[in-house]
Amino acid sequence: MSLIHSAIQRLKRDYFRWHYMRGAARILTTRPMEKGVEPFILLSMVQKRDVMSYLVAVKSFTHFLNPARIVVVCDPSIDEQDRAILMRHVPHLELRRADEFTHPDIPRGGTWERLFAITGYAQDDYVIQLDADTVTIQPIPEVREAVHRLAGFVLGEAVSTPLSSLGETRARALPWLGPNAHIQSMSETEMINVGLPENTRYVRGCSGFTGFPPTATLRENMLDFSRRMTSKLGKDWTRWGTEQVTSNYLAANARGTAALPFPKFGTPDKASDITAFYHFIGSMRFTNSKYATVTAHAIDQLRPT
């Protein structure tokens, strides 16, 4: 890629980011949220640069499905001004510090603190993990049904996102191995070799939106899996992406887990008229005006007519 092309791409990203942030700021003109009654905890990890995006994500989601509790695990970049903004718009919000959720048997950073928090809350309650780069614009009855059935769910990456055996998981990931293989592919080929039970399953979902039914052993399951993968992969297990692998593993082995219908729940590149829930992953966030457009639609739904 030439320097000129790189510069042009960077300018485009900067423009679309500015365009998005200008529109997303309208979320501050919407009413503070009211506490819901749905029997689950909505949990997110938020850093300073994503405060506005998070408010869009949480307000658009709860417009259709409003839980009894909402928790934010605060990245160290969150300051008192950010906390005040969050509490003004979500008065019943429970703010926790990321450094409350560490353990010597799991990596630090890379949203591991978020997953550790989830495994604590999910010992007694249904927990939904919601990324700050998501937007909900239509009803999502599939999620409500999963909560009420105490069944897990994952956000799929394709029309078919099956729960697989570890052998099937390895076979699918092997072609992706190479000198610069992603840690997710490396992990998926090796988890069959770490002594997990024969009936263990895995799903190649996205941890940005996942439902965890109450599971008394979820935290110990996470710690056990991390110990096993550390023994196999060493320092590679500290790389970005291992939290998603672990989230997928835990979800796949939870009660009743299934992938949400795609593309009703999915990424903007695969969206259609039926898409209700968008996940604007990093590579698709500021490449065009789609994030800003969907966000504007969500905010318009929140504003009084």
For residue 192, what pLDDT is reported?
97
For residue 126, what pLDDT is reported?
98
For residues 19 and 172, what is the distance between their CA atoms, to the nearest angstrom? 39
Whether the pLDDT of residue 90 is over 60: the answer is yes
Name the band, by pLDDT with cuts 50, 70 and 90, for residue 52: very high
Whether the pLDDT of residue 305 is over 60: the answer is no
For residue 132, what pLDDT is reported?
97
Beta strands in the chain, from DSSP E residues, in sequence order:
38-46, 67-74, 94-97, 127-130, 134-136, 153-155, 164-165, 201-202, 206-212, 258-259, 265-266, 277-279
The model's pLDDT over 92-150, given as tens digits with 9 standing for 90+, comes to 999 999 999 999 999 999 899 999 999 999 999 999 999 999 999 999 999 999 999 99
Find the mean pLDDT for residues 38-64.
Answer: 98
Whether the pLDDT of residue 1 is over 70: the answer is no
The model's pLDDT over 233-275, given as tens digits with 9 standing for 90+, comes to 999 999 999 999 999 999 999 999 999 999 999 999 999 999 9
The letter for the amino acid at 240 is: W
Question: Which distant-in-sequence residues (6+ apart) come within 8 Å of 25 by Cβ?
Answer: 52
CB 85 within 8 A of CB 138: no
CATH class in words for 31-261: alpha beta
Find the mean pLDDT for residues 49-67.
Answer: 98
For residue 263, what pLDDT is reported?
95
With pLDDT > 70 as the criterion, what percentage of the chain qualifies?
99
For residues 104 and 126, what is the distance between their CA atoms, to the nearest angstrom? 26
pTM of the model: 0.95
The model's pLDDT over 139-197, given as tens digits with 9 standing for 90+, comes to 999 999 999 999 999 999 888 899 999 999 999 999 988 888 999 999 999 999 999 99
For residue 182, what pLDDT is reported?
92
For residue 304, what pLDDT is reported?
66
Q: Which two tokens stand for residue 194?
A: 């770490």
For residue 245, what pLDDT is reported?
97
With pLDDT > 90 as the criterion, what percentage of the chain qualifies?
86
For residues 274 and 277, what is the distance between their CA atoms, to the nearest angstrom? 9
Calculate the CA 48 to chain-centre distance.
Answer: 17
Whether the pLDDT of residue 69 is over 60: the answer is yes
The overall average pLDDT reported for the chain is 94
Name the band, by pLDDT with cuts 50, 70 and 90, for residue 82: very high
